Each structure stands twice: as C-alpha cells, then as structure tokens.
Structure 1
C-alpha cells in the first residue's frame, strides 16, 4: 500500500506557481491529483506539470474539501482572503506570501533550519514560507550558529528582478533592449531604471528609513533562527533575471575559523561550498539559476571584529527562495505523518 495526496497550486500561472508545478513533478511528490488554480481571468489557461498539461481552474469556486495540501502563491491579499477558508475545509495551506509570516500562531519554516516548528501548524492549518532573501540566508547561518553562536549579522542583498515577478523581468528586458536601440526607457515596475543600474529600494519605506524587505530579513531570521541575534540589512535590486546574492558579515560569540566554517557548511543540509581563492572560484547568480542548493563562497575571517566572518551566499530565488522550499515543507508534512492522504493498493 502507498499513500498519495491531492494537491492544489493556487497562483499556478505566475512565475513561482509554474515553478512549483515543475518541482512537484521533478521530485516525484506522491500526488494522486494536482489542481492548477488562479483567478477567474486565467481559467482555461494551460500550464505544464511534468509531461502533462493542466487546465487552470477558478480559485474562488474550487472545492477544497477533499484536497490535502494547498500551495498558495497568489499574493498576500488573496492569501488573507482565501487561506483561512481553505484551512477550515481541512486542507493544509503552505503560503508563499508575507500574509502569515509574522503571525505567532503560524509556523515559518525552512526545513533545513527549523523543521520541528512545523508541529505548530494545527493552530490555524496554515504554514508560512519565508521571504526569498531570508530563506537562503538562514540555510547558511543555521550550522554556523550551532557551532559558534551568532551575535550579529550585517546583510547586503543583491536581488534579481524575478523577485518582483514577471513584470520585473519584462521591465529589465525591455529597458535593456531600449538602451541598445536608442529607444526611450520607461520605468513602470521600479521607481528608477533597472537596466545597467542598481536600486537600493525593495518594497515600501518604513518610518525609520528601512524598507519592508530589509525588515523582513530581520524579523524572519529572528523567528526561525534565534530572537537574540541582531540583524541589519540593506536590500538592493540588481539587473539580474534569476538568483539572489548576499554579502554577509557575521559576529560570533565563540571563535570560529574560515576553515572550520568551510568544513561545517560542506556537511550542512542544503548547502554547497564553492570557495577557491582564485579567479572564478566562487558562485554567481547566473550559475545558481535552476539549481536547488544554497551556495556559499568567499568564506574569510573579518579581522576588524572579534570572532568575525564574511561569506557570500547565492541561490535561485524562484526555487529555494519560494517554490522548492514550499514543496520541501509539504514533503516534511508527509514524512512526519502530519497529513493523512489516501491509501492506494
């Protein structure tokens, strides 16, 4: 006998929704049925699921009463409206938006970092997926924190336009083309031109001068890793299609050498160390696209503080930062027997 699960993917026509469908098929998730859902205007659109094609159904009218898990990637406002209703039907929601991340009754999960927190999903039948920039960060930080105790981190992010969805990718493409053919450059998605430029502004500004993206890194790292860690962040949008990079300065409670950090990270789940101290001996966002790992390079000691390290962290934001992590959470539910499914002969 085997157990299979009925899965719904909400937001199936978006970048992350399509990636979720692809990864479900790639990883042979034990799904008896997969439903692709979106808004009414996308009903009938065809999306790929492995070697199959699914027709998009209407999220608003779909019956979740016999669905085991809903992978929600339809945006924060949609999730706030529909996730509680879906959860009330007995379907576990794994949400990719920011709608539930800071709710004390909703676990925020990266399986390599805090898998035991998943037990708390029963309070609302909802599990939150972290922000893309935080997900890769905590995968790299967790094993180092266990070894030497992190006191403070300073993060500078270099985030690709796919973090803004299809509109961001289209804007970079169109502006780049306009530069070469001497057309006027239009900025619609971003407040300033993104082609051949960088923008130190992601999400809305807050009263203290930080942006919400920077605050998310702080709040989510504390929730998943350790509330005592001090975090400061500068988030920057860069003209890269896929892949987020982060320069991270870490101050530890106890001594740790660069060589020790390399050895720890090589053995850590989800991490891959590419760190040769030579030209090209590191990972860039381009090479991370389509890959599942969180890559760590440029591991070196910081002599300006006691017990300090610098590291460079890169990952495909559509995969580990969103779709892959969501499916890993679903796999965790299955492996721990937290979702029933149906028995098949």
Structure 2
C-alpha cells in the first residue's frame, strides 16, 4: 500500500513543480490531492498523465493523509501546518515559517538527512531557502574534507523566486523596452529588465536583507553553527535558476584539484569546469535539471586555504520542490513513516 499525499499551493510555480517531481520520481503514492485557496477551487493541474481538480485547503480533512507538501507561503503555513501536524500528517513546509524553530528539522537530504528524525516533535519538517539549498549541497563535501571557517557568497537570483507575477513582470518589461512602451515596476522596487537589483526581501536593522539573513542562519543550522558567513543577495533578469559566486576559507589546506575531486564524488553535485570559453554552467542550462552545478573552481591566493567557485541550480526544483520530495523519500526509505491505510488495514 502506498501513501496519500496532499500538495498545498498546487496552482503556484513550486506546487506545480512538486506534482511533476512526485510523478517523475515515481513516489509511492496511492493518491495525490491538489489543494489551494477557495478562489482556485476547480482549477485543473497536471500530475503525470492525470489531471487533478484543485480542492479547498479550508475544507480538507488531513486525518487520512500521510504527507503534506506545503507551498502556500509563510502566513498560510503558520496557520495550517501545526493543525495538519496534529492530525497525524507530516508537513514538509517550503516557507520560512518554521525554519528557525528548534523543534523543527531543517533538511537538505544530501547534507543532513539524519536530522529528519526530529520531525516527530511537531510533525513538521522545513525546507530551506532556495539559495541555501544549493549552497549547502556544494559546501558539505568541502566542509567534511577541510573544515570551513568562513564563506562569502553573492547570489544572482532569478525572478521565479518571487513567484509568477515576478516572471510576468520581467517578460512585460522586456517587451516594453523592445517596443518603446513605458516600463512599469510593480513587483520589484526598480525595473528588473536589463538590470540587477541588490535587494531581496525586507531590510533589517543591520543593513542586511531578510534573504541574506536566511542564507546565513540556515547554513549554520544545517551545516555547522561555527561557520562564519556573509551574503549579498541580488535579483537578476533570469526566469529560472539561481547562481552564486562563493568564496570559502578553510581551516586545513585544500587545492582546487582536491576540491574538484571531492565535489565530483558528492551527492547531488555535477562539476562542469573546463577552464575554457563555455566550459561552465549558466542558469539557462540548469533550468529543469535536478543537480547543483559547480564550475570555476580555483584557489584564492588572498587568504590561506581559500577557494572560489561558481554554483548554479534550478531554484524551483532543488531550491524548493525537489528538495521537499527528497525529504518525503527519506521518510519512506528509512521507514520513519507508515501509510495510514496500512495501519488501518
């Protein structure tokens, strides 16, 4: 007998991706339910070769559901995830609502799958920020090899990280530039077409943005609280895939060749680094792919034991939907969750 899975936020970018990935990876689900707000009821979404009609989250009974993939934003999650968890359904939440809760594991399966056992406290597991997910996949094998002291990262984040309206805005502004129409900025504080914006999420008192703070706090929780990290998060006019320029300082010596070998053998990582024109991965090529791609691995001569590299991943997949489904697979493969239908039988 398989599992019953609900996807909340099924009409959004990440929700649709979750449905696609559940189907692609052959997740052992006997039934998949698409849920969203009342205004989306009756909307049709694809699940493999099937079409699902969206139901209302407000009226749904989770008592016979095993896993809920939650991708409806922080406010919805704060209200609903604890209620769903109390009905015995494990929530894998894509928002930031529970990432910093000490009773909620924050999981990237390639990095800290063992920590998933802590889900029983609240029946909630948190997915990290999209930028954090790809970063820690790249950092974990290097940390195991040479122990990371400090990380400096600049992110180049695609507009899909801000939702469908943001993607529409980039398209509309780009078209407006070509036909000499007025360029309107609604979703972003400044024009995004043919521009970059060094501002994602709200500003905090120390001058960092919330997005930058998330990357710093989450990396420490997932990987190692002793790591020092600073981040600059930038929105770029790319539809899908986040890129990161990463500089790392280690406790112990590590050469570029050693780092390349370590990363080639790491789970979830693909190294494409030919040191020639085009011998690296760009966001366009990473879109629709599951891997975290690493290129431009080189030694940093300005510090002892320093490396720099370029890191690219599809933010809707590894940064969100894929990671959530992988967490569900950990629960299943490690036999941490029995289907309710099996218990009832």
Tell me the TM-score normalised to structure 1 length: 0.99
4+ residue segments displaced more than 2 Å:
342-345
Q: How many residues align?
A: 343
Distance in 2, matches of 1:183 and 1:105, equals 51
Distance in 2, matches of 1:39 and 1:79, equals 12
Residue in structure 1 matched with residue 85 of structure 2 by the alignment:
87
1:248 aligns with 2:246: yes
Superimposed CA distance per residue, residues 105-160 of structure 1 (whole angstroms, 9 cap, x where no aligned partner): 10000000000100000110000000000000000000000000000000000000
Matched ranges for 1:216-235 at <5 A: 216-235=214-233
Residue in structure 2 matched with residue 258 of structure 1 by the alignment:
256
Residue in structure 1 matched with residue 14 of structure 2 by the alignment:
16
Residue in structure 1 matched with residue 57 of structure 2 by the alignment:
59
1:116 aligns with 2:109: no
TM-aligned CA deviation for residue 338 of structure 1? 1.1
Residue in structure 2 matched with residue 279 of structure 1 by the alignment:
277
Distance in 1, matches of 2:342 and 2:82, equals 27
TM-aligned CA deviation for residue 263 of structure 1? 0.4
Alignment gaps of 5+ in structure 2? none
Distance in 2, matches of 1:79 and 1:309, equals 38
Matched ranges for 1:1-345 at <5 A: 3-341=1-339, 342-343=341-342
TM-aligned CA deviation for residue 232 of structure 1? 0.1
Structure 1 counterpart SS, 2:325: helix
Structure 1 counterpart SS, 2:26: coil
Alignment gaps of 5+ in structure 1? none
Structure 1 counterpart SS, 2:111: coil
Tell me the TM-score normalised to structure 2 length: 0.99
Aligned-residue CA RMSD (Å): 1.0
TM-aligned CA deviation for residue 174 of structure 1? 0.2
TM-aligned CA deviation for residue 221 of structure 1? 0.2
TM-aligned CA deviation for residue 343 of structure 1? 4.3
